[in-house]
Amino acid sequence: MHYIEDLQPGMTDSFAKTITEADILMFCAISGDNNPVHVDAEFAKTTMFGGRIAHGMLSAALISSVLGNRLPGPGTIYLNQSLKFKAPVRPGDTVTAKVTIKEVLVEKKRVVLDTVCSVAGKPVIEGEATVMYAVSRPPA
């Protein structure tokens, strides 16, 4: 576990997950987004992608996993997230979400991070997150 006083620009962490058929179907159920480009192979073949793709927000959700579980870690609360979708993610792709601290505002309990999701080293999502992180070192 990190204390906000110990966070420094340049610190990084990541989380990787292979996107499965079950993930896509569960995301459809949770979000209500049943766009046929995600679930209908025949329809998806007619699109510019030439086949099914995963929801962009499914891949973006992996960033939340890094922030809440690893860096900064438990107690992190999202305040802002920008996302630029660069390429599709297909069923079976392994997405790696990586965060890198850009700025730490200890007094405001805020952390600004670069966020990137990639598949095979190629960025599929780029953005920036601002989070509240109020885990401070206990008084001595």
Query: What domains can be seen in the chain, in order of their start residue?
Result: 4-19+55-132 (3.10.129.10)
Tell me the C-alpha distance between 67 and 83, whole Å: 15
The b-or-e profile of 60-99 (16+ CB within 10 A means b, else e) is: bbbbbebbbebbbbebbeeeebebebeebbbbebebbbbb
Cβ proximity of 4 and 103 under 8 Å: no
Mean pLDDT of all residues in 89-98: 98
> Is 4 strand, coil or helix?
helix
The model carries a pTM of 0.94
Q: What's the pLDDT at 64?
A: 98
Question: Would you say residue 110 has pLDDT above 90?
Answer: yes
Given pLDDT bands bounded at 50, 70 and 90, which one contains residue 3? Answer: very high
